[in-house]
Amino acid sequence: MAQCNNCKHSWSWSYSFKKLFTFKDEVYCPSCQSAQYVSKQARNHMSMVAMIPMLICFILIAFSVTTAIIITVEIIGYALVILVLPFFYKLSNEKEYFF
């Protein structure tokens, strides 16, 4: 879970979750109000986790599983991804760029 680099306050799942879906680079610590940034490593991890349901989808298609089952699995898969993403949310004091 995310921890503030300034005051070491551990962010709650719900706060991380909310910040995750604002899609902003800059997020503010609920405890000390300092600006924090999503770390590059966390972004990499989160994008990898987000790809898991897609990979499962390809595997299911390869095994010619029926569409109804694939859709159900995908919905559950993405719901699980959304729920676990805050655990991969890590903060940095400085803005880190991908390139």
Strands 26-28 and 35-38: antiparallel
Which of 80/94 has CB closer to Zn ion? 94
Q: 10 Å Cβ neighbour count for 38? A: 23
Rounded CA-CA distance 2/8 in Å is 9
Question: Binding of Zn ion at residue 91 (CB under 5 A)?
Answer: no
End-to-end CA distance of the chain: 25
Which of 3, 18, 31, 49 binds Zn ion (CB under 5 A)? It is 31
**Which one of the spans 29-37, 44-52, 66-74, 86-94 is the region binding Zn ion (CB under 5 A)?**
29-37
Closest CA to 30 of 7, 53, 61, 51: 7
Q: Give the interface size with Zn ion as a residue count (CB under 5 A).
A: 7
User: Strand, helix or coil at 4?
Assistant: coil
Closest separation in Å from C-beta 3 to Zn ion: 9
**Which one of the spans 6-14, 41-49, 80-88, 91-99 is the region binding Zn ion (CB under 5 A)?**
6-14
Question: Binding of Zn ion at residue 5 (CB under 5 A)?
Answer: no
Residue numbers at the binding site for Zn ion (CB under 5 A): 4, 6-7, 9, 29, 31-32
